Amino acid sequence: MADGWLKVATEVDGAVRLQAGGHWDARNVTRLDQHLRGLQPTNGAAVILDLAQVERLDTAGAWLLYRTRRQVRARGGQADYAGLTPAHEAMLDQVAANDRPVEMEPPRQPALLAVLGRVGDGTVDVMIEARQQIGFLGLLLVTLAGTLRHPRRLRLVPLVYHMEKVGFNALPIVGLISFLIGVVLAYQGAAQLQRFGAEIFVVNLIAVSVLREIAILLTAIVVAGRSGSAFTAEIGSMVVNEEVDAMRTLGLDPMEVLVLPRVLALVLTLPLLAFFADMMGLFGGMLMCWGVLEISPALFLERLQDAVSPWSFWVGIIKAPFFAFLIAMVGCLEGLRVTRSAESVGQQTTRSVVTGIFLVIVVDAMFSIFFAAVGV
């Protein structure tokens, strides 16, 4: 690739001649810029910018020449172009005409202030979000009540579609995870209980922990990651695409069309998923007991009936619709909060998953206290 070059010569009358030649274009300006910046300022001597040997001049190259002339003139010196072709002149004029200050960066704050500002923004944001969640909860309940009064307004096809997507399609991953957790619990529990010769209580350990807490909690977390995020991304992309606005102008209520089918789908399927997770968790534990502790499946099942009351099972299942409601609500709300940029979809999706899981665990803790209080 051709180079651009710069020669500095002093004329007889003391003027400095900067002779430019070759390709003064974007590929060469870095070097030429260093060369020009390295030059000593002339002490009042006239500067001649000689372009006679420039073969190619683009805006970047023209900028350097123009800037040099401007700098010399700003110091009170004299500077002029020489050897201009009409094309070069047009280019230099173009650059000169567009030399004006441009704001390049958003104004910056001092670091301490910025930190305080971010903490403040974050706090306000959490408050706003909490308020929006409560408002959205109300709106959702009103919509739900309206649909209950006029059941024909319920959109059945989307409901079934979402039930398949969030429920049926989640079976393999939820099943596998619960199975493995059952295996792990049995194995770890056995290692501890064997020291007391109480291997048989592994069954109690597995049954109570899987049925009451682990299966439903794991399922909720998997579903929050899988479906909560999908709700946010789907609705968020529709917001970016102005589809949600289009819906409103067509007299369709996004709450009814987008949110309600998703929420109901999850509320209906999460208990079923939780039941499946219960079974897979117990199955995993049973296999492990058989393999490692030589507790036969028949013995395991017999023990199981002693260990758990129906309430242990119902405690887990009762929580499922509540978790589902929270996950779906947060997922849809965060989707609707997307602003019109690609980045925002990502941000809200992350937020949807984090908030969803957080709320699930908070509510789970509240349930534990409640069940302890009522004694089941």
Partner 1 sequence: MAEPQDPIIRVRGLRTQFGDQVVHQDLDLDVRGGEILGIVGGSGTGKSVLLRTIIGLNRPAAGRIEVFGKDLAAVTPAERLAVEQRWGVLFQDGALFSSLTVAQNIEVPMKEHLDMPARLRDEIAALKIAMVGLPPEAGSKYPSELSGGMRKRAGLARSLALDPDLIFLDEPTSGLDPIGAANFDQLIRRLQINLGLTVFMVTHDLDSLHAICDRIALLAEKHILVIGRMADMLRHEHPWVHEYFHGPRARAARPNNEEAGG
Q: How far is the CB of 57 from partner 1 (least distance, A)?
A: 10
CB of 33 to partner 1, least distance (A): 5
Report the nearest approach of partner 1 to the CB of residue 56 (Å): 9
Which residue number, 98 or 123, has a Cβ lying nearer to partner 1?
98
Q: Can you tell me which residue has the tokens 């006239």?
A: 46
Least distance between partner 1 and beta carbon 58 (Å): 4
User: Residue 18 or 216: which CB sits closer to partner 1?
Assistant: 18
Which residue's CB is nearer to partner 1, number 56 or number 155? 56
What is the pairing mode between strands 16-24 and 4-10? antiparallel
Q: Minimum distance from CB of 25 to partner 1 (Å)?
A: 6
Structure token digits, residue 295: 């507790």
Taking the complex as a whole, the smallest distance from the CB of residue 266 to partner 1 amounts, in Å, to 31
Measured from the CB atom, the residue of 194 and 350 that comes closer to partner 1 is 350
Task: Indicate the residue among 87 and 252 with the shorter CB distance to partner 1.
Answer: 87
**Which of 74/102 has CB closer to partner 1?**
102
Closest CB 277 distance from partner 1, rounded Å: 39
CB nearer partner 1, residue 85 or residue 309? 85
Least separation in angstroms between CB 114 and partner 1:
16
What is the three-state SS of the chain?
CCCEEEEEEECCCCCEEEEEEEEECCCCHHHHHHHHHHCCCCCCCCEEEEEEEEEEECHHHHHHHHHHHHHHHHCCCCEEEECCCHHHHHHHHHHHHCCCCCCCCCCCCCHHHHHHHHHHHHHHHHHHHHHHHHHHHHHHHHHHHHHHHCHHHCCHHHHHHHHHHHCHHHHHHHHHHHHHHHHHHHHHHHHHHHHHCCHHHHHHHHHHHHHHHHHHHHHHHHHHHHHHHHHHHHHHHHHHCCHHHHHHHCCCCHHHHHHHHHHHHHHHHHHHHHHHHHHHHHHHHHHHHHHHHCCCHHHHHHHHHHHCCHHHHHHHHHHHHHHHHHHHHHHHHHHHCCCCCHHHHHHHHHHHHHHHHHHHHHHHHHHHHHHHHHCC
Smallest distance from partner 1 to CB 354, Å: 20
Whether the Cβ atoms of residue 93 and residue 99 lie closer than 8 Å to each other = no
Q: Give me the residues that bind partner 1 (CB under 8 A), please.
A: 25-27, 29-30, 33-34, 58-60, 63, 67, 87, 90-91, 93-95, 98-107, 339-343
Residue at 78: amino acid letter: Q
* Residue nearer to partner 1 on the CB measure, 63 or 323: 63
Residues contacting residue 376 through CB under 8 Å, at least 6 positions apart:
311, 315
Nearer to partner 1 among residue 38 and residue 375 (C-beta): 38
